[in-house]
A and B are shown apart, each in its own frame.
Chain A
Amino acid sequence: MSRPIRTRAQHVFDDLGQLFTEQLRARAMRLSSWGADHARTDWAGQTRVAVAGIHPPSMQLELREVVDVSPTTRALRFARRDGRLPPFRAGQHVSLSVEIDGVRTSRPYSISSAPGAPLLELTLRDDPDGFVAPWLYRLQPGWRTVSSGPVGTFYHEPLRDADTLVFVAGGTGITPFMGMLRELEAQGWPRPVTLLFGNRTPADVPFASELRRMARKNPSFRVIFVYSDAPDARRVRHGLLDRGELQRAAPVLAAKSFFLCGPEPMLTLVRAELAALGVPRRRVRSEDFGPPAHIVHQPSWPADLSPSARFELSVGAELRCTAQADEPLLVALERAGLAPASTCRTGACGDCRVKLVSGRVLVPEGVALRQSDRERGYVHACMAWPLSDCVIDDVP
């Protein structure tokens, strides 16, 4: 039986009435309360300000102080010229832009000052084989440059990490830990920390006196110095950061989180030793210290390729430059006088992502490439070494 027409008409009327009254009411209310607010509200500006206060995309820096922290290591302290220093997580780094002999490049440096300190401290060693470090090492206060905001994932994360921490540092790998230790000291050592600090000789240990002072004053902090090149020295520990050292430093391994930063051979050794001792991966965090120094040691390096082999690198149809087999594509682009985007130079941030249109490259194991990027031939130029002539689609 069909419904009486009147009832159905009533329903339709109800619905239509509801529709229009709702619409009119909603619009009238909103118009009166918001009016043309959107035209006046600077949404993009508000968004920019909120983001820049927490994650500034760049910072104008001026070098204010230069302090020697060992015979070959120097702390450079910068003031920010375009605002307050942003908050950051102790252990993060900034990417510092430099121009040397017409080559514009950048290097990531861990922040060795604590969050909240008035100056931003970066620490580096006078590496005679380096390109950027020796140049920075000789700078005088007053030098100005631009850096990225603080970035990186090497920090203590209470949501994930154990409450007892073991830091394993090699040489200038101490820098992120200095930021963390100085922050812990300012907070009154809320969690116990052991630092296992490897260096070549007792004569050249960055921050040695500050670390000794911290350890003397604070029972929650212990520092163990280990030297690889001190065979005849008495009263110091000689050797590598191997299983024995790790067990002595951290007797109950399971309840601790390990943070590693230092040269690649040290990281490889310590990671393997911790795995052998049964420490799960989630308890081991490590900071990559730049791209592999010797790409030829990678297992996927072709045996018949000379490290000094030169290839042609083309960018689209217009640009051509030379790329050497033992240098990543990013360096080839920088040598050609281009200014490709890059921040971390360890393959993590993806700022230098490019599409490899043709050619072959070596991408070391463990580079943070997305699955779809792998499948479609995208690489991070800082972690891709040419194995043939290559064409990429654009300058990152």
Chain B
Amino acid sequence: MQADYDAIVIGAGMGGLAAAARLARLDHRVLLLERHTVPGGYGTSFVRGRFEFEIALHQIAPPMAGGRARPFHGVLEGLGVLDQLEFHALPLFYRSIFPDLDLKVPAGIDGFLEALCGAFPHEADGIRSFVDLLLRVGRELEIAGDAVLPADGSGLSMSKAAMLPLRVRGLLRYSGVSVDQVLDRYVQDPKARAVITQTWGYYGHAPSTLSFLYFAAGTGIFLETGPSYLRGRSQGLSSALVSVIEGAGGSVRTGCGVRHVLQQSGRISGVITDRDEHFQAPVVVSNASPLTTCRDLMDPDMVPGAFWRRLGSTSVGVSSLNVYLGLDRPAHELGLVDNDMWLNDGYDPDRVARGMHTLDDPSLMMATCHSHALPELTPPGCSALTLTTLYYAEPWLRLEPLRYVETKNRIAAAMLDRVEARFPGVRGSIEEIEVSTPITNMRYTGHPGGAIYGFDQPPAEAIIWRIPNQGPIPGLYFAGAWTLPGGGFEPTLCSGYNAASLASTWLQRQRSPRFRGFRAGRAQA
């Protein structure tokens, strides 16, 4: 019997959208099911009054790096969205604000080195060596990604495989260590270390426990390309992917989730939706977490024990709290001229990271204002400012519902006070405000713990060690931040692309007469 679809994709986050777009463009019949009414997952926006607020995207590395097309360029091309996207460069990588230090770190390697070596001349040699290493490892990650799953879909050849370990020596050497373990060899001054590793605040792991590879993947690539932002916000990217899927003959259904993933003789055979419809398909790509997929969408006993043991070494990662502000004054009047600012209260990241497991007022927060660089994002004479800090979900899960609003407003007020002290006038210009918490993330994505990057990313669980895109049951694939290569916009797009490439190869093999003959022969035997 002919199945309804070749592949069903569960969830329209970045991973699910990319997987569905890739599969549809490879001429597979695809159905993408999304529980929420708007596709995009965290890649979306919302409107309040005359403002449209970005949910999640702070910065994205453009596909070109100084005239060289990065592998990400090939991924976007393969997804068919490259010509629909506009990348607008942002001037600053970040600005680090400490009680006694305020340093602007520009985009680009030269600017980065100049800023840091200028501020910490006694550490200049170490900083240069560390940055060299970041760049090298960042490049090697791209080489590895391109070799294992090239954008042209050719697969890993024997010759490439044999050469690969030599080409990615750095990657292998540093795959098991934390940022601090590497930095210890190069830079000692705690202030310099704090500024260099400032972007750890994106990931929720202090440098002592953050995978060096994951840090290098982000920082190394951003150093080379400089950061940028997308026209139409991240929702523009999500909508572009939807139009690719539909243009290639795939179906996208929003407002309809999946209740159950069906199995037959140890293989995936389809899904049952929230509305009790049965759809048959030999492939399911799940953009839901492997935890949700294997425990709630399937009978956990049907999932091999080895996979549960593999999941046993993971833990659910960090979530976020955001304060979205629509201000009725232009950014420059408020001094908000730098795109991404980190507000620190000290130089001990381990203390800061411990606070993320509590409901205490945050030590580290980020203030993102793209309005000065990209004024078209806000109404004339206005600006938008997003304050972000990270929390793990456990205390939020235990919070008494009656205390929810008071808790989130207390934290938001503390964050506003910190901003007001630095940029007087912000509080008196608030026309729109919305506070989102880990509960909000759970509400809209259904992710365990409202995780924003899937599983935690210590050295043993990041990049090459991450849960693979190939699931534990034939026909099951995973896309999204929970799986290879990890959290973030570029990685999750790549995960969906990879999952789709693997699924497509598998589907083709199922169809080939030789394979079918082999299977039939085996069944007879």
Contact = CB atoms under 8 A, between A and B. Distances in A.
A378 B236 CA distance: 12
A71 interface: no
Contact of A19 (B49, B173, B236): B173
B37 A54 contact: no
Given A47-B448, A87-B402, A371 B313 contact: no
Contacts of A353: 37-38, 254
A37 B312 contact: yes
A47 B449 contact: yes
A281 B431 contact: yes
A39 B311 contact: yes
B433 A159 contact: yes
Nearest to A285: B49
A19 B459 CA distance: 9
Nearest to B178: A22
B239 A31 contact: no
Interface stretch (B136-144, B152-160, B292-300): B292-300
Contact of B405 (A20, A89, A378): A89
A281 to B, nearest CB: 6
Contacts of A45: 296
B429 A34 contact: no
B172 A372 contact: no
Contact of A370 (B49, B52, B430): B52
B404 A87 contact: yes
B186 to A, nearest CB: 15
Interface string B416-451: 100000000000011111110001001100111110
A25 B291 CA distance: 24
A30 B435 CA distance: 34
B315 interface: yes
A281 B328 contact: yes
Contacts of A158: 409
B17 to A, nearest CB: 13
B460 A38 contact: no
Nearest to B236: A372
A254 B405 CA distance: 27
A119 B143 CA distance: 63
A292 to B, nearest CB: 18
Contact of B312 (A38, A86, A376): A38
Contacts of A372: 45, 232-233, 235-236, 238-239
Interface in A349-396: 350-353, 366, 368-373, 375-376, 378, 393-394, 396
B439 A43 contact: no
B5 interface: no
Interface string B214-241: 0000000000000000001101101100
A26 B296 CA distance: 28
A155 to B, nearest CB: 10
B316 interface: yes
A293 interface: no
Interface string B308-334: 110111111000000000001000000
Interface string A20-64: 101100110011001111110111111100110111000000000
Contacts of A376: 239, 243
B309 to A, nearest CB: 7
A23 to B, nearest CB: 5
B67 interface: no
B291 A43 contact: yes
A160 B434 CA distance: 10
Contact of B295 (A23, A44, A378): A44
Nearest to A34: B312
B460 A19 contact: no
A50 B295 contact: no
B91 interface: no
B396 interface: yes
A31 B312 contact: yes
Contact of B311 (A20, A38, A86, A160): A38
A45 B52 CA distance: 32
Contact of A36 (B308, B316, B413): B308
A306 interface: no
A371 B138 CA distance: 34
A44 B52 contact: no
Contacts of A22: 176-177, 459-460
B57 to A, nearest CB: 13
A370 B315 contact: no
B60 interface: no
A65 interface: no
A341 B50 CA distance: 25
Most buried by B among A50, A348, A394: A50
Given A159-B409, A159-B416, A38 B255 contact: no
A280 interface: yes
B232 A26 contact: no
B47 A369 contact: yes
B308 A30 contact: no
A149 to B, nearest CB: 10
Contacts of B459: 22-23, 26
Contacts of A157: 433
A357 B255 CA distance: 18
Given A18-B176, A55-B443, A369-B47, A36 B312 contact: yes
Contacts of B172: 19
Contacts of B447: 47
Contacts of B433: 157, 159-160
Interface string B122-140: 0000000000000000000
B48 interface: yes
B430 A27 contact: no
Contacts of A42: 295-296
Given A39-B300, A159-B416, A348-B47, 4 more contacts: A36-B308, A350-B38, A373-B239, A376-B243
Interface of B: 37-38, 45-50, 52, 172-177, 181, 232-233, 235-236, 238-239, 243, 246, 253-255, 289, 291-292, 294-296, 300, 303, 305, 308-309, 311-316, 328, 396-397, 399, 401-402, 404-405, 409, 412-413, 416, 429-435, 439, 442-443, 446-450, 458-460, 465
Of all A-B residue pairs in the complex, the 5 with the closest CB atoms, nearest first, are A43-B448, A26-B460, A282-B431, A368-B47, A19-B176
6 contacts: A44-B448, A341-B37, A353-B37, A353-B38, A370-B235, A376-B239
